[in-house]
Every structure is written in structure tokens, then in C-alpha cells.
């Protein structure tokens, strides 16, 4: 009788404090299918994505940060910070003094590019007693303040991102990490349908076939979770870094070719990041900033040119020393032909453009079932994951209020930390 009284008193105290009464362990698997646009399920039969929506939550779409390219937007998912705040401002590491640049894959191994003051959720979770891992997710190769994701795998150079057999093997590997190494949080990256969208275009039959492969994989992911005994504890969040839009070609429009713009010369630049897409950054030589800016501003009706300090605040892409003094981007369908390119699909445009919006699905014990929600920014996924895991988030730009309506209030997470 005495022990029962003590138990009842403990329950009463916990309820007064607002603490969980019946703690149930919650794990999180964050998955990114690179370049999966919000509407890619509309022209393809996607039974597994549809079932995931019925069993969980589907957002109309989500809005990534600007610049809408792979590494910066993925680091926003990991940190909940806009790109100007986390500092991974481009897929390519660069040095304006030596003019050296490294491509996407090599940049994964430039530690100081990633480790510049902002901690990804892997490290935050581990510092608070949880176990975290990552497979192929951008940023995995780096250490942060001397720490790494405790279980991690980086894809080899020249990796085949389209191999469906490898997708299934990687899925089983990650589920094994949860079961056999008792992990609480894992990030998993797939490099499609981005590559197919680039090569063939977002409206191509090849892209539609790749979406079918993604859908099959979503079904396999859920099946593997069940086979590994994780259904009652694992929350699966699937999203992407950005969308994709069709590039105008073959004389359809007046192309944007910087070298042909009157008054502009690459010889007036000390350094530039204009590769083959819709965006770029320029570092004019001393005394040449106004000349370069004035030559480009208004030079093409579909080219946007800003001095760094004049960037629209909504883009959150100005307040960082790594961002160069002049920023360019084009309207959807147009590319800046600093270098000739042949892609039929591109991303990197304004994040308000609908073609840049990714998809979002979530399923698991923490989430409502058969719930459709309106759009939200991807910075808000970080505080959502922290809340489910019961960890105190780092300083971030997201808000739990943007996503907490997705959660089953009776489902207890390990903590009650709110980032607002």
C-alpha cells in the first residue's frame, strides 16, 4: 500500500511538472531523396508514398533556403539554420586568393568548410547521450569541434547514385545500425531523382521511371524497418533538398551570356563562382565593383543582380563573410552561361519558385495518421527532430510551432524542449 501511494505521488508530481509519465523511446530516421520536387507524385503511380501519407503526414510542399543547391540546403536540414548563418554557402569550396575551387565530392572532405561554428544534429544528439549515424548525407565526412557521427559511411568517388540494389543494401545497413548498434538518430541520403532530372529534365519519362524507383524504395524502407523490429519506435521523415525545373534550350529564349553583356568583362574580376547553373557570385577587383555591378544590373530581363548588402532579406543570403560582393541568379528556365552546359533540368533558383519546392512525408509513433498539412520552411524540420528525440536544440532559425500540429500529443517524446 505504501509503495502504491509513493507511485501515485510520483505520478502527481510528474503531471504537475509537465514531465512525461510514460516515456516511450523515439528514434528518428531522416531521409533525403535529392531533387525530389513536391509534385513528382502527381504524374506517376506512387502506391508506397501514398500509403506513407495515409499512415502518417504529408505536407503540400516545403520551402528550402536560398541557395537551392545540395550541400547548403542539406546542412540547413541538419542545423535548422539559414545558409548565411551556418556558412556552408555553396557546393564548392573555394579560395578567393588562390582562385582554387573544389567540386562537390572533394568539398565533402574540406573540414573547415563544414566545421565553422554550427553543430549538426548528429553531434548535438551525441553530446546529450544519444547515438547518431549517417550514410552518404552531405556533411558526413567532416568532424565538428573534433567530433563525428559515431557510425558513418561516406560514398566512394564516382559512386553510382542510381543503383537500386545498393539502395536496398544501404537501407538494410541503416536499419541494422538502429537494431544492432542501438542508434537513436540516422540520416540517409539518396542521390536521385536529382541526377536524372538534370540529365533528362523534370518532365521526362526517365524522371518518371526514377520516381517509381524512389517509391519502390520507400516501400522497402518501411518493410525493412518492420523486419528489424523498429516499427513501434522509429519515426521516418522523408524530404529533399530542392526541386528541379526545365532549362530553356535551342534558341527558345534569349540566353544569358555574361561575356556578351556590354561593359562587362571577366578581367574585372578577381574571382567568380559562375559554373553552369542559374546562380553565381562575383568578386570584382579593387575599384571595379561599381563598374561590374552597373554593367550587369538590368542587362537582361531574366537576370537578377544584387550587391551583397542589398539582397532581399527573405533570402537570408548576405550576412556571411564567405558570400561574395555581387550575387546573380536567373529566372526559372534560364541559366547563366559562364560555362557551356547541357543539362535539361536545373535548380539553384529563387526558393520561392514552386519548381524549387521539395516534398515531405513523415510516419511513425510520434506522428498523426492520414494528416495533410500546409507548406512550411525546411529550417523547421530540425527543431521537430530535436523535440521527438528529446534533446535541447542548438540556436536555430526554425520554430516547433510550424510543425507540432503533426505530432500526436499523447505520444510522449523523451523531452519537452521547444526552440521557440
DSSP output for 324-360:
-SEEEEE-TT--BTTS----SEE--S-TTSGGG-B-E
Say which of 70, 76, 79, 239 is annotated catalytic.
Answer: 70
| Torsion sign over Cα 279, 398, 138, 145 | positive
Query: Could you give the C-alpha distances from 229 to 6, 172, 225, in angstroms and in order?
Result: 35, 12, 6
Asked if 242 and 68 touch (Cβ cutoff 8 Å), the reply is: yes
Asked if 273 and 90 touch (Cβ cutoff 8 Å), the reply is: yes
Output the furthest CA–CA distance in the chain (Å, rounded).
90
List helix spans (H) across 80-202: 83-86, 104-107, 111-114, 121-127, 164-180, 194-200
Look up 70 and say whether it is catalytic: yes
Residue 298 CB coordination number (10 Å): 9
As given in the structure block, the three cell numbers for residue 287 are: 575599384
Task: Give the span between the Cα atoms of 197 and 206, in whole angstroms.
Answer: 8
Task: Give the span between the Cα atoms of 238 and 394, in whole angstroms.
Answer: 22
Q: Which residues pair with 95 in a beta bridge?
A: 100
**Alpha carbon 45 to chain centroid, angstroms:** 25
Q: Which residues pair with 281 in a beta bridge?
A: 273, 327
Roughly how many angstroms between the first and final C-alpha of the chain, as a whole number? 43
> Which run of H or of E encompasses 50?
helix 47-55
Residue 204 half-sphere exposure toward CB, CA atoms < 13 A: 20
- The bridge status of strand 57-59 relative to strand 360-363 is antiparallel
| Active site residue ranges | 70
Amino acid at each position: 500500500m505504501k509503495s502504491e501511494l509513493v507511485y501515485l505521488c510520483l505520478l502527481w508530481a510528474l503531471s504537475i511538472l509537465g514531465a512525461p509519465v510514460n516515456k516511450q523511446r523515439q528514434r528518428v530516421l531522416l531521409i533525403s531523396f535529392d531533387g525530389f520536387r513536391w509534385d513528382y507524385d502527381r504524374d506517376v503511380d506512387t502506391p508506397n508514398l501514398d500509403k506513407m501519407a495515409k499512415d502518417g503526414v504529408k505536407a503540400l510542399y516545403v520551402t528550402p533556403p536560398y541557395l537551392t543547391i545540395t550541400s547548403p540546403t542539406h546542412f540547413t536540414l541538419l542545423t535548422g539554420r539559414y545558409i548565411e548563418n551556418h556558412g556552408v554557402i555553396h557546393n564548392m569550396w573555394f579560395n578567393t586568393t588562390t582562385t582554387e575551387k573544389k567540386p562537390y565530392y572533394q568539398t565533402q572532405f574540406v573540414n573547415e568548410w563544414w566545421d565553422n561554428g554550427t553543430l549538426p544534429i548528429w553531434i548535438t544528439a551525441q553530446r546529450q547521450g544519444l547515438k547518431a549515424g549517417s550514410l552518404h548525407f552531405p556533411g558526413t565526412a567532416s568532424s565538428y569541434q573534433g567530433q563525428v557521427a559515431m557510425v558513418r559511411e561516406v560514398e566512394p568517388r564516382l559512386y553510382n547514385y542510381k543503383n537500386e540494389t545498393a539502395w536496398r543494401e544501404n537501407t538494410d545497413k541503416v536499419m541494422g545500425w538502429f537494431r544492432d548498434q542501438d542508434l537513436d538518430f540516422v540520416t540517409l541520403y539518396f542521390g536521385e531523382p536529382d541526377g536524372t532530372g538534370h540529365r533528362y529534365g523534370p518532365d521526362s519519362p526517365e524522371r518518371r521511371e526514377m520516381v517509381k524507383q524512389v517509391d519502390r524504395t520507400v516501400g522497402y524502407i518501411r518493410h525493412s524497418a518492420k523486419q528489424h523490429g523498429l516499427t513501434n519506435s522509429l519515426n521516418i521523415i522523408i524530404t529533399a533538398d530542392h526541386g528541379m525545373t526545365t532549362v530553356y534550350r535551342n534558341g527558345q529564349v534569349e540566353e544569358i551570356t555574361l561575356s556578351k553583356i556590354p561593359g562587362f568583362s571577366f578581367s574585372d574580376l578577381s574571382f567568380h563562382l559562375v559554373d553552369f547553373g542559374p546562380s553565381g557570385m562575383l568578386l570584382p577587383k579593387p575599384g571595379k565593383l561599381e563598374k561590374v555591378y552597373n554593367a550587369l544590373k538590368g542587362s537582361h530581363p531574366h537576370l537578377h543582380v544584387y550587391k551583397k548588402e542589398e539582397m532581399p532579406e527573405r533570402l537570408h543570403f548576405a550576412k556571411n563573410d564567405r558570400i561574395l560582393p555581387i550575387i546573380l541568379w536567373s529566372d526559372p528556365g534560364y541559366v547563366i552561361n559562364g560555362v557551356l552546359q547541357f543539362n535539361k533540368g536545373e535548380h539553384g533558383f529563387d526558393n520561392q519558385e514552386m519548381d524549387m519546392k521539395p516534398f515531405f512525408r513523415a510516419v511513425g509513433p510520434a506522428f498523426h495518421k492520414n494528416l495533410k498539412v500546409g507548406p512550411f520552411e525546411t529550417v523547421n524540420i530540425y527543431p521537430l527532430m530535436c523535440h521527438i528525440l528529446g534533446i535541447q536544440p542548438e540556436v536555430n532559425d526554425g520554430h516547433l510551432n510550424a510543425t507540432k500540429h503533426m505530432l500526436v500529443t499523447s505520444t510522449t517524446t523523451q523531452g519537452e524542449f521547444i526552440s521557440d
